Structure 1
Amino acid sequence: MSNQNTAAQARAALEAGEGILRLAPTWVPRSFLMPGGRLKLSREDLYALGTHRGGIDERWFGSTTPAANEGAPPDEGLSYVVHEGGKFTLRDAIEAVGADIIGKPLWDAYKKWPVYSKFFDNLGPIPHHMHQNQEQAAKLGLEGKPESYYFPPQLNWTGNNFPYTFFGLEPGTTKEDIRRCLERWNQGDNGILDHSKAYRLKPGTGWLVPPDVLHAPGSLVTYEPQWGSDVFGMYQSMVEGRRVPWELLVKDVPEQYKHDLDYLVNQLDWEKNVDPEFKAHNYLEPIVRSGGEEQGFVDRWIVYGTVDGKQLFSACELTVHPGRTATIKDPGAYGLIVTQGSGKIGSLDVDSPNFIRFGEITKDEVFVAAKRAGEGVTFHNTGSEPFVSLRYFGPDTHKDLPAVGDHLKRGAR
């Protein structure tokens, strides 16, 4: 499709939705993981792309970032705009009419939507791994990947096999300790978790995860606003008795360093990994942004704070009570997913389905253009249960973004 045609379609979709685009579900498999079955996708569709591709355990939101999966088609991971029976990628739409969707400041700075979010849903834990920083990823022409976590209560009706996440390394761990773990890669479990600490995961809370910090996510469904990249390196050789190939450790490492153990160890940000106050510096609890019981809604910050002093992404959870309405103004574009209930977002009917077949177009995901977000979007609960949605933002959007730890001072959940 030509850029001119995409521009016309994108503008038509923006006009029809009054600045709000409806998006189709974007499913992503992982060959090295086991799906947890809580994303509402039919169980018979968990391997819809074939067992050789792996089970579907991720759904991506407002994504213009392709998934870095072996054997994947070029559009895997990309969100599609749905309009008048047709569809086109959000990435193509932003390339065609950039500022009209994401706003002039972001378009001028990045010439793309530089972030995305996802649901991650695994049966058990995944390997202790890190995501490279910008400088490291740039060696391969890629981008680094800081990320964040929030555990939506609506999807975590069960914790599955291991609702605990290992973060970082125990204070006192040395680089030589981790080098020895890499030396033992083919001897079974390399023992890297002996040098880490697991934290019990609690629905309705979250974490910031800087690049170059080891983490082994547990089995809660996780909402993950993050930078627009899919780089990683797995540092754990076995998980639940399953082998982790060396190739997943060095997937995003320059060729000359793929067997350089010192380089691999030095990829880690040592100060952040052995931080004795890791939880205090990275743990998040919701903070009320606006609303209350009398107003019939509550809007909460769920992802906030900075990574290395930079505001890279943020997210809010909006709950509107039955029969009530909330008009929310935001200073930037956002991607949104409905996690409970039904209602209207602007002029669009939305609802959170209980059961989704692969390829089905749902009514639970939208992308709100910057101009419309600034003017205000009205959320109306038309159902009999709370109407709950999660929305995430790009970099440098909020002047009033809380800092990590502010939940202890500002309280209100």
Structure 2
Amino acid sequence: MKNIREAIEKELEKRKGLLKLKPAWVARDFLPPGKRLGLPESEYNLGERGGICERWVASTTKADNKISVPNEGLSMINIDDIELTLKDAVEAAPDLIMGEEYSKTHKGLGRLPKIFDYEERLPYHIHQMQEHAKLVGCNSKEEAYYFPEGLDTGKAPDTYFGVHPYIVEENKQELLLPAMINWKDDSILQFAKAFKQIPGDGFHVPSGTLHAPGTALTIELQEDSDVFAMLQAKCGPKLISKDLLFKDVRDEDKKTHGEKIILDMINWEVSGDPYFYENRHTPPIIITTTNTAEEYWFFYNTNKFSGKRININPGGKYFSKEKGVYNILVWKGKGTFGELKIEAGNFDCDEILVSHKAAINGVEIVNQDNNEMIIYKFFGPDINDDVPFLKKYKN
């Protein structure tokens, strides 16, 4: 740990509080990839492991796949002469990265940004709430989605959320059981509502919420967890292993309760909300406008994480000053972030962690491109106490 801390301290000093990161590619075997992550065609297919369907960004979370690969899901620091994960760096030097006060009350960065990219709509599923996730040694997984503009949205660009409200109002939750027991098709989707994935738009999804994300390439911010239960047997032509229904269920609960245990893990209050769209739809909210740039909230409505989007005009500048540690993903354009070169699509320089000290001192961003620059900023819990919340609609 001492050597790691010394290496991080040296790198932070050299880069003025910034850490360059490498992409963390994650394979999934239950659906084929959408192949929009910018990799060469030949690199998506990984045989028994499936295909690369996700890129995790500034990740300290290990991917939980059937075939385990060392460090899959963990971001590596782009540093000479040493192989070092961001997870190890945060554990060895929490005060240097997260700030002394924040690191006293937070064990880690507490969030996971990712890009997910599937050819088929994802199965109807949940991410367990904390009371159930902790039973298998995991964290809960609240999450939020944003659909970037200018990309092919795929063959099924709509997401199923929740259930029809009457199911909860009339205590008919067991209507979902036959599809889980028979495990042969996608008939369980008849109980949910679909919402169009509009580019430049998004949703907030609390843990325990039933959902089946569509095929639009999606930027996601979530709690740092890979916990889930898949309730849908078939997506497109593929029958999914039923093992994924019980992936994060204790053996004794599966044996005693069978498929019914999944019903206990669903957040029925959110899933059955008749105002689901009004209470969970999160279009960008403007924060600041200058002569050369605009900044928006694009992940909000929760204290567990938050996100901002910066748009900078060609040749423009923007001074980014924040309340604590965050990371960036350069989505469009090229230029500089502090003294570091940045360029969208260049995996050597499109991802940076901004330490607490650099965040509060501020970093100048310069767009050196002839086109607009877009940068996404991702924050963990309790960094932004001014994050906005949607007006609450009640039945």
Taking structure 1 as the reference length, what is the TM-score of the superposition? 0.91
Quote the offset at 1:87 in angstroms.
3.5
8 Å CA contact retained: 1:99, 1:107? yes
1:329 matched residue in structure 2: 321
Secondary structure at the counterpart of residue 258 of structure 1? helix
Residue 196 in structure 1 maps to residue 192 in structure 2: yes
- What is the aligned length? 386
Stretches of structure 2 lacking an aligned partner (at least 5 in a row): none
1:371 matched residue in structure 2: 357
1:362 matched residue in structure 2: 348
Residue 271 in structure 1 maps to residue 263 in structure 2: no
Residue 395 in structure 1 maps to residue 389 in structure 2: no
Secondary structure at the counterpart of residue 80 of structure 1? coil
Which residue of 87, 90, 93 maps to 1:91? 87
Matched to 1:167, the amino acid is F
Quote the offset at 1:190 in angstroms.
5.3
Residue 73 in structure 1 maps to residue 73 in structure 2: no
Quote the offset at 1:404 in angstroms.
2.2
Matched to 1:392, the amino acid is F
Quote the offset at 1:63 in angstroms.
0.5
CA–CA separation in structure 2 for the residues paired with 1:105 and 1:290: 28
1:85/1:203 CA distance change after superposition, 3 Å: farther
The alignment's C-alpha RMSD in Å is 1.4
CA–CA separation in structure 2 for the residues paired with 1:165 and 1:277: 16
2:337 matched residue in structure 1: 345
Residues 311-351 of structure 1: CA deviation (Å, up to 9, x unaligned): 00000111111111110111011111101000100010010
Quote the offset at 1:380 in angstroms.
0.4
Secondary structure at the counterpart of residue 404 of structure 1? coil
1:39 matched residue in structure 2: 37
Residue 161 in structure 1 maps to residue 161 in structure 2: no
Residue 61 in structure 1 maps to residue 57 in structure 2: yes
Residues 119-170 of structure 1: CA deviation (Å, up to 9, x unaligned): 001112010000001110111111111111011114xx21111100000111
Residues 29-69 of structure 1: CA deviation (Å, up to 9, x unaligned): 1011211111111111112xx21001101000110000001
Matched to 1:51, the amino acid is G
CA–CA separation in structure 2 for the residues paired with 1:74 and 1:253: 24
Matched to 2:383, the amino acid is T
CA–CA separation in structure 1 for the residues paired with 2:244 and 2:101: 36
Matched to 1:270, the amino acid is W
CA–CA separation in structure 1 for the residues paired with 2:70 and 2:91: 16
CA–CA separation in structure 1 for the residues paired with 2:77 and 2:83: 5
Matched to 2:238, the amino acid is R
Stretches of structure 1 lacking an aligned partner (at least 5 in a row): 407-413
8 Å CA contact retained: 1:234, 1:248? yes
Quote the offset at 1:181 in angstroms.
2.3
CA–CA separation in structure 2 for the residues paired with 1:332 and 1:282: 26
Quote the offset at 1:405 in angstroms.
4.8
CA–CA separation in structure 2 for the residues paired with 1:24 and 1:261: 40
2:310 matched residue in structure 1: 318
Residues 208-248 of structure 1: CA deviation (Å, up to 9, x unaligned): 11111111000111111110000000001111131121100
Matched to 1:20, the amino acid is L
Quote the offset at 1:85 in angstroms.
4.8
Matched to 2:374, the amino acid is V
CA–CA separation in structure 1 for the residues paired with 2:342 and 2:391: 34
Residue 23 in structure 1 maps to residue 1 in structure 2: no
CA–CA separation in structure 1 for the residues paired with 2:186 and 2:27: 26
Greater mean alpha carbon deviation, residues 20-29 or residues 83-92: 83-92
8 Å CA contact retained: 1:106, 1:113? no
Secondary structure at the counterpart of residue 366 of structure 1? strand
CA–CA separation in structure 2 for the residues paired with 1:106 and 1:112: 9
Residue 383 in structure 1 maps to residue 379 in structure 2: no
Residues 168-222 of structure 1: CA deviation (Å, up to 9, x unaligned): 111112212012222222xx21511010011010111111111111110001111
CA–CA separation in structure 2 for the residues paired with 1:377 and 1:87: 27
CA–CA separation in structure 1 for the residues paired with 2:379 and 2:21: 16
1:181 matched residue in structure 2: 179
Taking structure 2 as the reference length, what is the TM-score of the superposition? 0.95
8 Å CA contact retained: 1:284, 1:405? no
1:230 matched residue in structure 2: 226
Matched to 1:246, the amino acid is K
